[in-house]
Structure 1
Amino acid sequence: MKEPHRIVLFAVIACGIGIGVGVIIGYFSHDTSIPEPKADPDASQRIMDEIKAENIEAYLRVLTENPHIAGRSVDEEDLVNYITNEWEKVGVKVEIHPYDVLLSYPDEADSNILSIKMADGTLVNQSHPKEAILDQSQDKPGVVNPFNAYSASGDIEADLVYVNYGTIEDFLNISKIIDLDEKICIARYGKIFRGDKVTHAEQYNCSGLILYSDPKDYAVKGRGVYPNDWYLPGTGAQRGTVKQADGDSLTPFYPSIGTAWYRNETKSELPKIPVTPIGYDDAIMYLEKLGGEEVPTNWRGGMNITYRYGPGFAGEFSTSMMKMHVTTKNQMATTKNVIGYIRGSVEPDRYVIIGNHRDAWVFGSIDPSSGTATLLEMVRSFGQAVKQGWRPRRTLVFCSWGAEEYGLIGSTEWVEEFVKVLGSRSIAYLNVDAAVTGNYTIRVSGSSSMKQVSFDAAKTVSNPNQNEIANGRKSTYDTWLHTSDGDEPRFVHVGSGSDFATFLQLPGIAVLDFEYEFDTVALEISGYPVYHSVYETFEYMKAFVDPDFSCHQATARVVAEIARQLVDSPIIPFNVVDYANSIASDKDTMLFYYGSMMEENAIDTGILDEAVANLTTAARSLHNRIDGIDITDALAVRSVNDQLMQLERAFIDKQGITGRSEKSHVLYAPNLHNTYGSSAFPGLVDSMFEIDSDANQKDRWNELTKDCNFNKMDGLNGYASTHNIGIAVWVCLEERLLSV
Structure 2
Amino acid sequence: MDTARSTISNLFRGEPSTYTRFSLAEHMEGDNSQVEMKLSNSEMDDEVGNSMGDHRDPRIMKPKHSPKNICFVIVCTLLIFLIGFLIGYLSYRGRMPTKEQSCSNADSVPCGTAEELSEDDSDTTVEATPFLEWKQLKELLREKFLLSSFESRIKDFSVNREAGSEGDQTLALTVYNEFKSFGLHSVWNDEHYVKLQSLGSTPNRVTLLGSGTTEVFESQKGYLAYSAAGQATGKLVYANYGREEDFKNLASMNIGVNGSVVIVRGGKICFAAKVANAQKVKAAAVLIYLDPADYDNMPENTEVFGHVHLGTGDPYTPGFPSFNHTQFPPARSSGLPSIPAQTITTNSARRLMSKMTGQSAPSEWKGTLSVAYNLGNDDNVQVKVEVNNVVAEKMIHNVFGVIKGLADPDQYVVIGAQRDSWGPGVAKSAVGTSLLLEMAKALSALVVKDGYKPRRSIIFASWSGGDFGSVGATEWLEGYLSVLHLKAFAYINLDAAVLGSKHFKASASPMLYTLLGNTLKEVSSPLDSNKTLYQNIGSQSWEKQTIVPMAMDDASYAFQAFSGIPSVSFSFTNDRDYPYFGTMEDNLNNLNTRTGNRVDIIARAAANVAGQMVLRLTHDHELSLDFDRYNGELYSFVFKINRFAKQLKKAGLTVKWLFSARGDFDRATETLKNNILNSDLNNPRICRAINERIMRVEYHFLSPYVSPKDTPFRHIFYGSGPHTLMSLLENLNRMNSNTSDVDIVVLQNQLALATWTIQGAANALSGDIWDIDNEF
TM-score when normalising by structure 1: 0.81
Residue 163 of structure 2 corresponds to 70
Asked if the contact 2:208–2:383 (Cα under 8 Å) also holds between the matched residues in 1, the reply is: yes
How is 1:455-604 mapped onto 2 (pairs within 5 angstroms)?
Answer: 455-466=517-528, 474-481=531-538, 485=541, 490-492=546-548, 494-519=550-575, 523=576, 527-545=577-595, 547-548=597-598, 549-589=600-640, 597-598=647-648, 601-604=651-654
Residue 665 of structure 1 corresponds to 715
Name the amino acid aligned to 2:417.
N
Asked if the contact 1:32–1:635 (Cα under 8 Å) also holds between the matched residues in 2, the reply is: no
1:80 maps onto 2:153 in alignment: no
Residue 196 of structure 2 corresponds to 103
Secondary structure of the residue aligned to 2:495 is strand
Pick aligned residue for 1:343 from 404, 409, 414: 404
Residue 431 of structure 2 corresponds to 370
Distance 1:237 1:567 in 2: 44
Residue 311 of structure 1 corresponds to 377
Pick aligned residue for 1:32 from 95, 99, 122: 122
1:662 shift after superposition = 0.9
1:616 shift after superposition = 2.9
Residue 265 of structure 2 corresponds to 188
Distance 1:604 1:538 in 2: 57
Residue 123 of structure 1 corresponds to 214
Pick aligned residue for 2:244 from 137, 157, 168: 168
Asked if the contact 2:701–2:717 (Cα under 8 Å) also holds between the matched residues in 1, the reply is: yes
**Higher-Rg member (1/2):** 2
Name the amino acid aligned to 1:562.
M
Distance 2:581 2:756 in 1: 49
Distance 2:545 2:400 in 1: 32
Asked if the contact 2:511–2:630 (Cα under 8 Å) also holds between the matched residues in 1, the reply is: yes
1:49 maps onto 2:143 in alignment: yes
Residue 13 of structure 1 corresponds to none
1:697 maps onto 2:741 in alignment: yes
Asked if the contact 2:668–2:762 (Cα under 8 Å) also holds between the matched residues in 1, the reply is: no
1:452 shift after superposition = 1.1
1:274 shift after superposition = 1.3
Residue 274 of structure 2 corresponds to 197
With 581-590 and 205-214 compared, the bigger mean Cα shift is at 581-590
Q: How far does the alpha carbon of each residue in 1:559-584 deviate from its partner, in whole angstroms, 9 at most, with x for none?
A: 11111111111111122222322332
Residue 445 of structure 1 corresponds to 507
Distance 1:506 1:487 in 2: 24
Q: How far does the alpha carbon of each residue in 1:695-718 deviate from its partner, in whole angstroms, 9 at most, with x for none?
A: 9425x2365247744878999989
Distance 2:748 2:331 in 1: 39
1:613 shift after superposition = 4.1
Give the percent of matched residue pairs that are identical in Structure 1 and Structure 2.
24
Name the amino acid aligned to 2:274.
K
How is 1:320-335 mapped onto 2 (pairs within 5 angstroms)?
Answer: 320-335=381-396
Name the amino acid aligned to 2:353.
L
Distance 1:597 1:697 in 2: 14
1:445 shift after superposition = 2.4
Name the amino acid aligned to 1:169.
E
Name the amino acid aligned to 2:223.
F
Secondary structure of the residue aligned to 1:572 is coil
Q: How far does the alpha carbon of each residue in 1:342-401 deviate from its partner, in whole angstroms, 9 at most, with x for none?
A: 111221111111111111121111112221111111111112112212222111101011
With 318-327 and 716-725 compared, the bigger mean Cα shift is at 716-725
Distance 2:767 2:693 in 1: 15
CA distance 1:533–1:725, shift in 2 (3 Å): farther
With 45-54 and 649-658 compared, the bigger mean Cα shift is at 649-658
Distance 1:712 1:539 in 2: 53
Asked if the contact 1:586–1:680 (Cα under 8 Å) also holds between the matched residues in 2, the reply is: no
Asked if the contact 2:418–2:462 (Cα under 8 Å) also holds between the matched residues in 1, the reply is: yes
CA distance 1:722–1:391, shift in 2 (3 Å): closer
Asked if the contact 2:504–2:546 (Cα under 8 Å) also holds between the matched residues in 1, the reply is: no
Name the amino acid aligned to 2:699.
R
CA distance 1:507–1:706, shift in 2 (3 Å): closer
Name the amino acid aligned to 2:514.
Q
Q: CA RMSD in A?
A: 3.3
Residue 400 of structure 1 corresponds to 462
CA distance 1:390–1:162, shift in 2 (3 Å): same
How is 1:141-152 mapped onto 2 (pairs within 5 angstroms)?
Answer: 145-152=221-228
1:516 shift after superposition = 1.4
Distance 1:47 1:722 in 2: 36
Distance 2:321 2:230 in 1: 31
* Greater relative contact order (Cα < 8 A, sep 6+): 1
Asked if the contact 1:368–1:435 (Cα under 8 Å) also holds between the matched residues in 2, the reply is: no
CA distance 1:492–1:639, shift in 2 (3 Å): farther
1:590 shift after superposition = 5.6
1:684 maps onto 2:737 in alignment: no
Distance 2:501 2:481 in 1: 37
1:688 shift after superposition = 4.5
Which consecutive unaligned segments of at least 5 residues does structure 2 have?
1-114
Pick aligned residue for 2:416 from 355, 373, 376: 355
Distance 2:190 2:404 in 1: 19
Asked if the contact 1:164–1:170 (Cα under 8 Å) also holds between the matched residues in 2, the reply is: yes
Distance 1:84 1:305 in 2: 51
Name the amino acid aligned to 1:626.
I
Name the amino acid aligned to 1:584.
Y
Distance 2:165 2:608 in 1: 32
How is 1:401-420 mapped onto 2 (pairs within 5 angstroms)?
Answer: 401-420=463-482
Secondary structure of the residue aligned to 2:196 is strand
Distance 1:658 1:641 in 2: 26
More strand by percentage: 1
With 574-583 and 362-371 compared, the bigger mean Cα shift is at 574-583
CA distance 1:571–1:325, shift in 2 (3 Å): same
How is 1:293-304 mapped onto 2 (pairs within 5 angstroms)?
Answer: 293-304=359-370
1:723 shift after superposition = 6.8
Asked if the contact 1:717–1:730 (Cα under 8 Å) also holds between the matched residues in 2, the reply is: no
1:208 shift after superposition = 1.0
Which consecutive unaligned segments of at least 5 residues does structure 1 have?
1-24, 131-144, 220-224, 226-231, 313-317, 673-678, 732-740
Secondary structure of the residue aligned to 1:582 is helix
Q: How far does the alpha carbon of each residue in 1:513-541 deviate from its partner, in whole angstroms, 9 at most, with x for none?
A: 1211222xxx4xxx311121111112222
Secondary structure of the residue aligned to 2:227 is coil
TM-score when normalising by structure 2: 0.77
Distance 1:530 1:722 in 2: 48
Distance 1:577 1:26 in 2: 30
Name the amino acid aligned to 2:537.
W
Asked if the contact 1:180–1:205 (Cα under 8 Å) also holds between the matched residues in 2, the reply is: yes
Asked if the contact 1:581–1:616 (Cα under 8 Å) also holds between the matched residues in 2, the reply is: no
More helix by percentage: 2
CA distance 1:487–1:687, shift in 2 (3 Å): closer
Asked if the contact 2:318–2:332 (Cα under 8 Å) also holds between the matched residues in 1, the reply is: no
Name the amino acid aligned to 2:244.
I
1:643 maps onto 2:693 in alignment: yes
Name the amino acid aligned to 2:668.
A
1:281 maps onto 2:347 in alignment: yes
Distance 1:26 1:602 in 2: 56
Distance 2:271 2:502 in 1: 26
1:619 maps onto 2:666 in alignment: no
With 160-169 and 607-616 compared, the bigger mean Cα shift is at 607-616
1:659 shift after superposition = 11
